[in-house]
Structure 1
Amino acid sequence: MPDERVKDTTPLTADVAVVGYGPVGRLLALLLGRSGRRVVVVERQPQAYPLPRAAHFDDEIGRILQSVGVSPDSIPDVVEAYDDLYEWRAADRQPLLRLDWRGLGPSGWHVSHFFHQPSLESILDAQVQALDSVEVLRGWTAVAHTDGPDAVSLELRSATDERRSVSARYVVGCDGANSVVRSWIGTEATDLGYFHDWLVIDLLMHGALKEPVFSPPAWQLCDPVRPTTLVPGGPGRRRFEFMRLPTETAEELNDEAVAWRLLEPWGIGPGQAKLERHAVYTFQARWCDTWRRGRLLLAGDSAHLMPPFAGQGMCSGMRDAVALAWRLDLILDGRVAADTVLDSYGPERAEHVRHFIAASMALGEVICLSDPVAAAERDRALQADLAAGAESPPRPLPRLGPGFHREDTGGGLLSIQAAVTNGRRTALFDDVVGPGGVLLMADPGLREWLRPEDTALLDDLGWQVVALAAEPTAGEVVDTTGAYAAWLAGLGAVAVLVRPDLYLYGAAADPADLTGLLDHLHAALGRPATADR
């Protein structure tokens, strides 16, 4: 049912208005709301969308979910960790390509998880609804905006033609591929001209199927007769995707009878599964050139689209939300950071997402061949590489684009998460120390190099100072696995400054460089440098 609160037509004021309430909008609203920011969410759908869309997230998103109290292992009925090869096979079922994305990733969670999106969204929604600082307006559409010197005024319209307004200091469009906020910004897009139609089918399984059908559980059938994707869709669910052939129309393919016919060779019929969804999607590859104009910003599918073959579409949007949330929180504080901190958001994220788009397209080039001659040439080349012992293509772990970090010292790289102990608890770093920004030092003695102005700055930011020690004491942790010592050594660093979005602001090569790193942070925030204070 629509939220009863929307019957009140009083103008609303907010720190941030979030347009769109998918996983990206929910995460952004949750992060800002927990920081005490007043958030109004505008969602045109009167009820939550009940069908799956995204089905995969990686270890970095697992860590982000951990930070809001929804760690992947806490919801086994929604999320299943994946620990097998991801294979690409020819029409005769012989392997062409093996992606070895097994085990734990650098963020401390499995590299791959499959999940049921409506269930995860419901969990995030419950956490948002528990916050007094966030109001979710369902059944309302943002139809116009007016830029002001200190705020943006949104005009909202309901399905019954009621009117309402929201005044917000910032507006973030998390409203998908047809984003109205993007149209207000007026940005051009870098479009790579990638267009493939696929029929996406989601199934709720009634019982176990024969193991050979799904061994490994996630794979791609690179058959030019019908390129096909087979992956889990979360616990008890399966997803199939069938590429539209040149001889078909999207309308012909998007038919329930066609869905069952395509599933029949896999031993699946109404007796084995419930058809939850069938829909034809056009896989695309593009990103916006401008992610911000004044007080208007973009995140998620409103800013970028990519093929699903690397499972990074929703992941990239959730990274956007985290990258934006901590910036907005600091700016809204009014004393910690200047508005210019938002200028780095788009360049950082656009460059980062470009790498995932490229990786997804490269994988798509393997499977999206309907010409048998071209497919035969592909098969010969890839199988020759496998026979020669070619390694699995690396999982993309790109660096952020130029922005709010010191690039010459590890800035823009993803930080790691491993187990530590503080003497009371042994667990993953964020569970012991807490989420958020942190200055991590290799030795407690480095604290002596922190000046009063450095400590004051980190306190203002809400970023912690944590040192690795041989024995746990106040403010220090023990590196129980040696992972942090190895990571710092690989960076050639005695300390690293980790932003709240898990990416490095920079690394210090020695104690003196720690001073330079913190001076760089002072300046980047729009605060006076040490020499000027």
Structure 2
Amino acid sequence: MTVASSGRRGLRDPCAHSQVLVVGAGPVGLTAAHLLGSAGVRVLLVERNADVGDDAEAVTPDDEYLRILQRAGVNEAIHLERVLLAALAQLPTVETSFDTRLFSLQQRTDRVRAWLGPTAGGQAAAALDVPYVLGCDGDRSSVRELLGIPMQGRSCPDVWLVVDTLDDPHDQAYGMRHRNPRHPAVVVPGGGGRCRYEFRLRPGECAPGASPPFTLVRELLRPYREISVPQVERVVASTSHALLADRLREGRCFLLGNAAHMMPPFAGQGLSSGLQDAVNLCWKVAEVLTGRAGDPLLDTYDTERRPSLQAVVERSVRLGDVAMTTSTARARLRDLCVRTALRTSWGNRCFGEMRCRPDAPVRIGAVVPSLRGRTDPLVGTALPLPMVLHGTARRITRLDKVLGPGWSLLGAGVSEDDWATVEEAGPPADRRVDLAFDDPAPRDTSGRIGIADADGGAHAAFSRLTERFILVRPDRLVAAVFDAEDAEGVTLHLERFALQPLPNPLDTPATSTAAPVLAAVSSPPSGELS
């Protein structure tokens, strides 16, 4: 195994006392490792390949995608894996091991035993005991296979050719569909001269996984631009799948990203959905490991993510049927509809800003969707991200930065008496923030941060919630919107998830035979080698 820790390779015994094993160093695994490591969780990240990839992961990332990356300390979406790996080097709690393969998993009451070894063989496998395993190892997930979790859905036999180019003249703000019935195409301009072309191939032109000849690439691009070999950043031929795992959790093991779901690329949500998996799960794992939450919180990963994933997969399929039609008449109608939609705010959001996510708010899980028969539409959705004035210096910053990494409670124009009532009820809140609508110079008070609207965004997002409280989870999902008199009910509802003082599984193993270090063994248990 080749091991790296904080940028160094060759470290001995890298896995001693690891709390989470992350399998797969793609964007989702790297993001999960960063989120966990930033929360103080000790992580071992293993990757069967010798290094991360250099491919451009996203040509036109949406706002939620960028928000997630910023939480991981990353502001560059191109060559994402390389940037995320460099960010991990700054976290002393995260260690990485490349050329390392997961051979077997064995679940126990208080831990998972994983057998790891070099991808190329030639060295004995080693056993690692950890409380949790995150399978972020892609569409051919070893974790999913070892757990025996099937996927449901369908695969499309058509082959698509995806070409990422440089020095491209296209500078439109939206993806363009072209109605060539022989090769339906989608052109997605990006920043810095990058552009992505997606073509539906005819039978026999290129097999999935094969290296497409440059002559084919040049011929397909000819109607749109001239291309030379150095201007092709990446080219891949593949089929698409619309699949979702039967379950995202199996005991102490979890599936994320393509290990859990696969979808056609037409909604542009594949990678973003995987990153949202990591954001949804990692704070919950950290809460349980620190003893602040109990195991029921981890069950909400599946119940919260599944409706959204199902909706995104279905939308991706529908968009693909429309975008890649071989019917000239349907293509003309499609293009007319897109041009018309771009004249509306909805069309600009969907096609111009690539915000094609279906609305799927969380209604079951660690949220309080209804109080006294009322359901606020903000509950179960991502908190808006306005600019605010912060503190007496009136610094302008994004609300995310004010809230911090944990649970936060935002009071929108509430009174001191209401704050006293809510604080006595004790809903989970690591940080309390007082949003003033009528005070341009907010002041911090005892135990609370004062903020005010900076540019109208906060007023637009929260003015209808005056004299109410907004409880925000660490993943920036709104858990509850409530009046002071409902604070006790909110606390009672969330206690089963967020307020159980359970011990750290590593500190108090269920049996005296637990082995918290990497131990060399001759081979994994018989019948478990994958």
Q: TM-score range by the shorter chain?
A: 0.7 to 0.9
- Which residue of the partner structure matches residue 428 of structure 1? 398
Aligned-pair CA distance for 1:332: 0.2
Q: Following superposition of structure 1 onto structure 2, how do residues 382-421 of structure 1 map, counting pairs within 5 Å? A: 383=336, 392=346, 395-396=356-357, 397-400=359-362, 402-408=364-370, 409-410=375-376, 411-421=379-389
Q: Following superposition of structure 1 onto structure 2, how do residues 77-116 of structure 1 map, counting pairs within 5 Å? A: 78=76, 115-116=77-78
Aligned-pair CA distance for 1:146: 1.5
Choose from 118, 133, 157 the match for 1:171.
Answer: 133
Q: Given residue 332 of structure 2, which amino acid in structure 1 is its aligned partner?
A: D
Cα distance per residue 1:121-161 (max 9 Å; x no partner):
22221221221111100110101011122111111121243
Aligned-pair CA distance for 1:362: 2.1
User: Residue 486 of structure 2 aligns to a residue in which SS?
Assistant: helix
Aligned-pair CA distance for 1:17: 0.4
Q: Given residue 512 of structure 1, which amino acid in structure 2 is its aligned partner?
A: E
Would the alpha carbon gap of residues 200 and 31 (structure 1) be closer, same or farther in structure 2, given more than 3 Å must change? Answer: same
Cα distance per residue 1:472-521 (max 9 Å; x no partner):
1111111233433443355687111111111111110x221233222222
- Of 256-265 and 343-352, more deviation after overlay is shown by 256-265
Aligned-pair CA distance for 1:63: 1.8
Cα distance per residue 1:143-196 (max 9 Å; x no partner):
101112211111112124322332210000000001111122322323144453
Choose from 115, 128, 149 the match for 1:187.
Answer: 149
On the 8 A contact 1:28/1:325 being kept in 2, the answer is yes
- Which residue of the partner structure matches residue 527 of structure 2? none
Q: Following superposition of structure 1 onto structure 2, how do residues 315-326 of structure 1 map, counting pairs within 5 Å? A: 315-326=272-283
Would the alpha carbon gap of residues 196 and 473 (structure 1) be closer, same or farther in structure 2, given more than 3 Å must change? Answer: farther
- Which residue of the partner structure matches residue 458 of structure 2? 484
Q: Given residue 443 of structure 1, which amino acid in structure 2 is its aligned partner?
A: G
Q: Given residue 254 of structure 1, which amino acid in structure 2 is its aligned partner?
A: P
Between the aligned partners of 1:195 and 1:233, the Cα distance in structure 2 is 28
Uncovered stretches (5+) of structure 1, i.e. residues with no partner: 72-77, 79-114, 529-533
On the 8 A contact 2:175/2:189 being kept in 1, the answer is yes
Choose from 212, 236, 244 the match for 1:287.
Answer: 244
Between the aligned partners of 1:179 and 1:384, the Cα distance in structure 2 is 39
Between the aligned partners of 2:32 and 2:333, the Cα distance in structure 1 is 46
Aligned: 1:495 with 2:462: no
User: Residue 182 of structure 1 aligns to a residue in which SS?
Assistant: helix
Aligned-pair CA distance for 1:259: 1.3
Cα distance per residue 1:369-408 (max 9 Å; x no partner):
22x3xx3145347637967999555543431352111122
Cα distance per residue 1:318-345 (max 9 Å; x no partner):
11111111100110012x1111111110
Between the aligned partners of 1:442 and 1:524, the Cα distance in structure 2 is 25
Aligned-pair CA distance for 1:215: 4.2
User: Residue 37 of structure 1 aligns to a residue in which SS?
Assistant: coil
Between the aligned partners of 1:304 and 1:241, the Cα distance in structure 2 is 21
- Which residue of the partner structure matches residue 213 of structure 2? 255
Give the TM-score normalised by the residue count of structure 1.
0.81
On the 8 A contact 1:200/1:241 being kept in 2, the answer is yes
Between the aligned partners of 1:217 and 1:417, the Cα distance in structure 2 is 23
User: Residue 326 of structure 1 aligns to a residue in which SS?
Assistant: helix
- Which residue of the partner structure matches residue 148 of structure 1? 108
The alignment covers a number of residue pairs equal to 468
Aligned-pair CA distance for 1:526: 6.0
Give the TM-score normalised by the residue count of structure 2.
0.81
- Which residue of the partner structure matches residue 507 of structure 2? none
Aligned-pair CA distance for 1:36: 1.1
Q: Given residue 473 of structure 1, which amino acid in structure 2 is its aligned partner?
A: R
Q: Given residue 419 of structure 1, which amino acid in structure 2 is its aligned partner?
A: M
Between the aligned partners of 1:21 and 1:237, the Cα distance in structure 2 is 24
Choose from 24, 47, 50 the match for 2:51.
Answer: 47
Q: Given residue 420 of structure 1, which amino acid in structure 2 is its aligned partner?
A: V
Q: Given residue 135 of structure 2, which amino acid in structure 1 is its aligned partner?
A: G
Would the alpha carbon gap of residues 309 and 380 (structure 1) be closer, same or farther in structure 2, given more than 3 Å must change? Answer: closer
Between the aligned partners of 2:148 and 2:477, the Cα distance in structure 1 is 29
Between the aligned partners of 1:193 and 1:269, the Cα distance in structure 2 is 32
Aligned: 1:124 with 2:96: no
- Of 148-157 and 425-434, more deviation after overlay is shown by 425-434
On the 8 A contact 2:206/2:237 being kept in 1, the answer is no
Between the aligned partners of 1:492 and 1:282, the Cα distance in structure 2 is 50
- Which residue of the partner structure matches residue 448 of structure 1? 420
| Percentage of identical aligned residues | 31
Would the alpha carbon gap of residues 383 and 418 (structure 1) be closer, same or farther in structure 2, given more than 3 Å must change? Answer: same
Between the aligned partners of 1:480 and 1:12, the Cα distance in structure 2 is 48
Q: Given residue 129 of structure 1, which amino acid in structure 2 is its aligned partner?
A: A
Would the alpha carbon gap of residues 186 and 232 (structure 1) be closer, same or farther in structure 2, given more than 3 Å must change? Answer: same
Between the aligned partners of 1:421 and 1:216, the Cα distance in structure 2 is 31
- Which residue of the partner structure matches residue 232 of structure 1? 189
Between the aligned partners of 2:33 and 2:259, the Cα distance in structure 1 is 16
On the 8 A contact 1:42/1:137 being kept in 2, the answer is yes
Q: Given residue 161 of structure 1, which amino acid in structure 2 is its aligned partner?
A: G
Cα distance per residue 1:337-370 (max 9 Å; x no partner):
1111111101211111222222222221112222
On the 8 A contact 2:388/2:396 being kept in 1, the answer is yes
Aligned: 1:466 with 2:433: yes
Between the aligned partners of 1:45 and 1:31, the Cα distance in structure 2 is 22
Q: Given residue 302 of structure 2, which amino acid in structure 1 is its aligned partner?
A: G
Uncovered stretches (5+) of structure 2, i.e. residues with no partner: 351-355, 502-530
Would the alpha carbon gap of residues 401 and 318 (structure 1) be closer, same or farther in structure 2, given more than 3 Å must change? Answer: farther
